[in-house]
Amino acid sequence: MKRWIIPTVAVLALAVGAVIIAGCQNEQADTQAAAPVVDVDAPQSVAETDGAQAADVHDVQGEYTYTCPMHPDVKQDRPGKCPECGMFLVADTDADVEYYCPMHPDVVQEDPGKCPECGMFLEARPVEDGAEAE
């Protein structure tokens, strides 16, 4: 009787492991299938996608290149942190810019960083005439 205990436990452990792995793969496939596919080169507006009221979809890749103040060779097309030192990337431009949150337009500041309300990286935009960053 004892000689069947170890093989039986091993088979049960393999079966449980297979069920767990299969469940994780199904969950991952469900998550990937639920994400919409967006063509970044195509014009994006709500009116074009579902016939609703026209409103532009926010484009993360803006008009600025972002660079690290400590590592000028680090350049990205979107805001973020330097992969070498972790500093916030700043807009690489000679024009006066302010940093704003695309989700919370009232969050505006002079320096790059993250939105205190949602945690998104702040994006650069030109400073409007007569307006100063808070």
Give the tokens for residue 53: 């009221």
Give the tokens for residue 5: 């205990």
**Residue 101's pLDDT is what?**
92
Percent of the chain with pLDDT over 70: 65
**Residue 3's pLDDT is what?**
79
Distances (CA, A) of 92 to 48, 84, 134: 32, 18, 20
Digit-coded pLDDT (tens) for 18-50: 777 777 665 554 444 444 454 545 444 444 444
Digit-coded pLDDT (tens) for 60-79: 446 788 899 999 899 988 88
- 29 exposure class (CB count in 10 Å sphere: 0-12, 13-18, 19+): exposed
**Residue 10's pLDDT is what?**
81
